[in-house]
Amino acid sequence: MVVVPEFIVPPPGLIPDAPKPDAPEPTGYTRPPVERGEQGDHTVRALPARSLPTFTPLPSGPPAASVAVPPALRPADAEPVATASFTLESAAGETIEIAGRVVVGRNPAVDVAHPDARPIALADPTRTVSKTHALVEVREGRVVITDLHSTNGVAVQAGGGELTVLDPGAPAELEVGTVLRLGDLALTLRRSPGLTV
């Protein structure tokens, strides 16, 4: 009959030699009975508990992208670019400067859909302009108008052509010289002589 050992015996030289019996034991460690040459319980005993090292958490701040980059290291396209500025002129000679985004009307209110727009009140002798009539914005050097669901609508007439009524909420690009009709109030789009940065 073949006797099978209760554990696997490693080949010689694979495991270092056991410490000599006269070597001092580590603090807080008791050698299991098997290592002491005793017969009995073969249960593996846990080492005494020890505390884990502590670490200081990193500061939680804004991402590294917010760190200021010296001007010499900025890409060339990061420099401010001069953008065209436009005006809307009424038949009475009133001039309205258009730069960025503006909401025009009799007494316009900026809503959550256009929080960065600047409200501009129009003098309306025709009494056909809605309180908040249209959004006019400059996008990459082009002027775009959107009817904000006004009562009497927005119509455009480019180059003396036909008058086109815009669909509410649908943006339309305008050319310089185009006549806008907000209700019955006519405004002409002109390019401003200066540039804004």
Residue 121 domain flag:
yes
Residue 66 domain flag:
no
Residue 118 domain flag:
yes
User: What does the pLDDT read at residue 159?
Assistant: 79
Residue 82 domain flag:
no
User: What does the pLDDT read at residue 69?
Assistant: 47
Could you give the number of structural domains in the chain? 1
| CATH number of the structural domain spanning residue 105 | 2.60.200.20
User: What does the pLDDT read at residue 10?
Assistant: 73
Cα–Cα distance measured from residue 87 to residue 192, given in angstroms and rounded to the nearest whole number: 6
Helix (H, G, I), strand (E, B) or coil at 158: coil
Cβ atoms within 10 A of the Cβ of 62, count?
Answer: 7
State the pairing for strand pair 118-121/101-105. Answer: parallel
**Sole residue written with tokens 């020890």:** 50
Write out the residue range of the structural domain in which residue 177 sits: 95-196
Cα–Cα distance measured from residue 70 to residue 78, given in angstroms and rounded to the nearest whole number: 12
* pLDDT tens, per residue, the chain with 197 residues: 666 667 677 777 677 666 565 656 666 656 655 555 555 555 666 666 666 666 666 665 555 555 554 554 444 454 444 455 899 998 888 898 988 899 999 999 888 888 899 999 998 888 999 999 999 999 888 999 999 999 999 999 987 788 999 999 999 999 999 999 999 999 999 988 654 44
The structure's pTM equals 0.55
DSSP state of 5: P
